[in-house]
Every structure is written in C-alpha cells, then in structure tokens.
Amino acid sequence: MTKTPDTAILWLRRDLRLDDNPALVQAMAENERVLPLYIHAPTEEAPWAPGAATHWWLHGSLVALDQALRERGSRLRIATGESLAVLERIAQRTGATRVYWNRLYDPATRARDTHIKLALRARGLRCESSNALLLHEPWEPLTGTGGPYRVFSAYWRKAVLGLDQLTPLPAPIQWRRPPDLDDQESAGIGVDTLDLLPRIRWDQGLAERWQPGETAALAQARRFIDGPLAGYAQGRDLPGKPGTSSLSPHLHFGEIGLRRLLALIRERHGSLAAPAAEVFVRELGWREFAHHLLYHFPHTTAEPLDPRFARFPWHTADAAARLAAWQQGRTGVPLVDAGMRELWHTGWMHNRVRMVVASYLTKNLLLPWQAGAQWFWDTLVDADLAANTLGWQWTAGCGADAAPYFRVFNPIRQGERFDPQGDYVRHWCPELARLPERFIHQPWAAPVAVLRAAAITLGDEYPHPLVDLARSRLEALAAFETIKAT
C-alpha cells in the first residue's frame, strides 16, 4: 500500500514571517505538504477586535507574506468565518491530519485557541503550538512564592537571565508544496476581499510613514542597530529626532522575531549587556512584562489592577467635549496636541509623548484611562492589547507601579526638556511654528506682541488651554487622596 503523504495546516495569525517561526519550521520538518492559512475572524477577539489602523497594517503584511511564500513555490490561503469551522473544513478537504500555530496570549484568543485545540484533537487531529511572540512564556518568570510579578524591576532581574543564549530559527531551506485545493472556497480569497483598507482614504500619512512586511522589518532593525541604537539611552526620549527603533508594529504583527532581533544586536555590539544595547533590551523587557501582567490579570483590559481606582471620581460634566478636543489635538497644550496629531496622521506616537498625552487625559482632564486606551487601540498601527493596557494603567496610576498616584507629567517641562527647540511641536502644530523657543510649549504665556508677530490669536489659529495645568494637577492629587485610604 502506498503511504499517503502527511499534510498539515499552518495557521498563521500574528506571526507573519518566515524567519524564526517555530510553528512553520516544525510543520515543514514533519510533513510532506504544508498549507499556510490565515483566517480573518476579528469578532473572535471581541471586545478588542482590531482597529482601523491595525487593519491597514494587516493588509500590507498579508500581501508581503503571500509574495514571500509564492517566491518559494507556496502561497498564503486566506479564509473568513469561524476559525474552528474553517480549520475543520480545510482539514477534511485536504486530508490534513495536523495543525500547527504559534500561541497568542490575549484573553479572548487564549480561550478560543484552547477550545479549538480540544475540538480538533477530539476529531483525531494532532495540534502543535509554539512560542514565536515572546522571549519567555508569560507564565514562566515567577516570584519566589510562585506568584506573578507586579513590579517591573524585580521581574526583569529574573527575566533577563539567559537572553544571550537565545538563538533564532532560520527559515526552512526546503519548502513543502501545499496540497491541491480544487474548489474555490478551499482555495481561499484575495487580501482585497477582506476590505481592510479604508474606503475614505485617510491613510495617506500611514503609507508615507510605514512599509509593512518581513523584509521591511528586517531592514528597519538593521538600520536601527547600525545607527540610532548607539545613542538610544538619550535619543529615545527626543520626539523630534529619529532615535527610536520604529519596530513596534513589526513586532506586533510578528514580522520579525525577538530572537532574531537579539541576534542582530549581538552581531553588531557583541553582547546584549553592551552599553549601546542594554537600555533597548530593557525596553523589550517591558513588552514581556506587559504580557506577563495580562496573562495573570486578564481583567485589566477594562478594570484597574489596583481595585481602589474603581471608585476614582472622574470628571463627568463636559467629558465628551474634553475627550474630543484631546483626540483631535486641540487641547491648547502644544506637546499634547503635537502627539495626538502625529498619532492621527501616522498611526504611531513617540513613547515619551504617549506618556505625556496619557497623563494629561487622566490627571489634568480627569477622564478615565479606558477612553484613552480605546482611542489608541483604534488609531495605533502597533496597537497591542498587553502593551496598551500596561501603558495606560501605569500612566493613570492604577497599574503595576511602585509609586503611582503622585506622578503627573507636566507637558511644559517635558517639552522644554525633550523638545527644547520645539522641532516636534513646530512640525505637528505648524500654526505655532513662528513662536520663539521660550513660548513654543506655552503660547498662552506669550505677550500679545509676540503672538501677533507669530500670526497667532489664541482661540482662533490655536485654542486656549482646556484647563489650567497647575490647578488641574492639584485637583487630580486631591481626587487620588479620596481613594488612597480605602
């Protein structure tokens, strides 16, 4: 009797790369035929289904992955519908007996994947899952008592151990051909059918700023490692300078693996502990910590880690108008407005500015962090549920932080320190471009003659501040006092 070649489904999600892809490597090594499959089922990620900017990036990433597969004699099958039903149908029509995927860790996808694994195994299929997203599984680094960490410094002291020994998996040299699919449904649909791009084309700024895909991710990693990484410790805080990696969306979609990224750093700088590398690697640790927290505290996507903050007295009187002004970059505070406009135009915001705009929303406007997290989720191309949750809770003061409530970022001081010439503000708020450095971060303090010379009338070309920064800070601290002892 002739033995039927083993056929496997490779279920791709946020691991849209060929290099350092454990599920892909295992599937290719163990089977004669491998079907790369992407299933578009955003409702299965509710209530955190991907936002508009995420969809834009996903379109480009799927196109790039399909092209890479075609160059190797394969191609990406794309399907829509309920994931379990699609996998069962494709397995039946191809004779596949195995399904491989890389793990996701968001609460909704974890629950879905567990259900799918049990259901497929009950039907006699072998299911194998791997870790392609993180350096550590989120359940691995634990405290001495066996519990999760809640402070980053303690977590990182343990998690950083052994990173120099991690090595990436190269893309397979020999590619297995996919099984033949005769009917149109099983053969898949085109990326354009998913309707991921906006019908009203607001995405010009995204297209100017970004190039999705694995090839672009590797090129950007090398540019960063060969250049800005050497001055990252200082350059990462300057929003007007190209001092950050710009890798966050590539990492979110799995277009480059962390093991590959660390290997590239070691090749260039010798060690992850080298002065040029240590600070950046520690920032990658925050990404790991975010997934650690979300795994152990899944409720924190909508509820504060510190339960006292469930009773925080948020401002309600004109909340909708305040939120809209913040979203539109019309708060009257230049650094905040510059950040919000950068976000809308490019789908990204400098991390220093993310902290400033989040602090302003929660501690000056006294609006709930959940509203800011939701806006970021829809507008960021690197919208990552774990990182988004950690960032907003940390800034709002209700998350994993040793000294949370009294940290209030002053956007004037932040601007003067990290955008001293006002280059960032002038770029994103061009109506302020003619203001001298002394007033670029606080135009309301400029004399009338200075404003007139800069062609600015507050309330017309640029808005008056929504709130007084000093007074609103005191109001925030007073509000925090009401919940501290409870």
* Each residue's pLDDT tens digit, 45-85: 999 999 999 999 999 999 999 999 999 999 999 999 999 99
* Cβ atoms within 10 Å of 169's Cβ, excluding its own: 17
State the Cα–Cα distance between residues 356 and 113, nearest whole angstrom: 36
403: pLDDT strictly greater than 50: yes
Burial of 161 (0-12, 13-18, 19+ CB in 10 A): exposed
Q: How confident is the model at residue 187 (pLDDT cuts 50, 70, 90)?
A: low
Burial of 233 (0-12, 13-18, 19+ CB in 10 A): middle
Q: Which of 8-12, 181-185, 264-268, 321-325 has the weakest average pLDDT?
A: 181-185
State the Cα–Cα distance between residues 281 and 143, nearest whole angstrom: 21
Residue-averaged pLDDT of the chain: 94
255: pLDDT strictly greater than 60: yes
170 upstream amide cis, omega within 30 of 0: no
Q: What are the Cα distances from residue 33, in Å, to 90, 118, 245, 369?
A: 13, 23, 37, 48
Q: What is the CA radius of gyration of the chain?
A: 24
Region of residue 459 (phi > 0: left; psi between -120 and 50: alpha; otherwise: beta): left
What sign results for the dihedral spanned by CA atoms 47, 52, 57, 62? positive
Q: Max alpha carbon distance in the chain (Å)?
A: 94
Q: Which pLDDT does position 284 carry in this prediction?
A: 97
Catalytic residues: 283, 286, 314, 351, 369, 392
Q: Which residues, other chains included, contact 201 with Cβ-Cβ below 8 Å and sequence gap of 6+?
A: none
What residue spans define the domains of the chain? 1-132, 134-167+214-296, 307-484
1: pLDDT strictly greater than 50: no
State the Cα–Cα distance between residues 387 and 380, nearest whole angstrom: 12
186: pLDDT strictly greater than 60: no
Q: How confident is the model at residue 183 (pLDDT cuts 50, 70, 90)?
A: low
Strand, helix or coil for residue 130: strand
Backbone phi and psi for residue 459, each to the nearest 5 degrees, phi listed first: 100, -15
User: Is-contact 235 276, C-beta < 8 A?
Assistant: no
Tokens of 178: 């996919």
Overall CATH class of domain 1-132: alpha beta
- For 447-474, what is the mean pLDDT? 96
Q: Which pLDDT does position 207 carry in this prediction?
A: 95
- Closest of 237, 267, 284 to residue 418, by C-alpha: 237
The DSSP letter of residue 73 is T
Q: Is CATH 3.60.15.10 the right assignment for the domain spanning 307-484?
A: no
Q: Which pLDDT does position 189 carry in this prediction?
A: 84
The DSSP letter of residue 19 is T
State the Cα–Cα distance between residues 322 and 331, nearest whole angstrom: 8
Q: Which amino acid is at 322?
A: R
Q: Which pLDDT does position 188 carry in this prediction?
A: 73
- Between these two residues, 263 and 5, which has the higher pLDDT value? 263
User: Is-contact 8 35, C-beta < 8 A?
Assistant: yes
Backbone phi and psi for residue 35, each to the nearest 5 degrees, phi listed first: -105, 105
242-248 own/partner pairs: CB under 8 Å, 24+ apart: 244/350, 244/351, 245/220, 245/221, 245/280, 246/220, 246/348, 247/217, 247/220, 247/221, 248/348, 248/382, 248/384, 248/387
The DSSP element (H or E) to which 334 belongs, if any, is helix 334-346
pLDDT tens, residue by residue, 325-338: 999 999 999 999 99
pLDDT tens, residue by residue, 28-51: 999 999 999 999 999 999 999 999
pLDDT tens, residue by residue, 109-131: 999 999 999 999 999 999 999 99
Q: Which pLDDT does position 61 carry in this prediction?
A: 98
User: Is-contact 276 269, C-beta < 8 A?
Assistant: yes
Q: Which pLDDT does position 3 carry in this prediction?
A: 39
Quick one: what percent of the chain has pLDDT higher than 90? 89
State the Cα–Cα distance between residues 8 and 178, nearest whole angstrom: 9
pLDDT tens, residue by residue, 353-385: 999 999 999 999 999 999 999 999 999 999 999
Burial of 39 (0-12, 13-18, 19+ CB in 10 A): buried
Tokens of 70: 């075609």
**Entry pTM:** 0.95
User: Is-contact 383 377, C-beta < 8 A?
Assistant: yes
134-167+214-296, CATH topology level: 1.25.40
The DSSP element (H or E) to which 291 belongs, if any, is helix 275-296
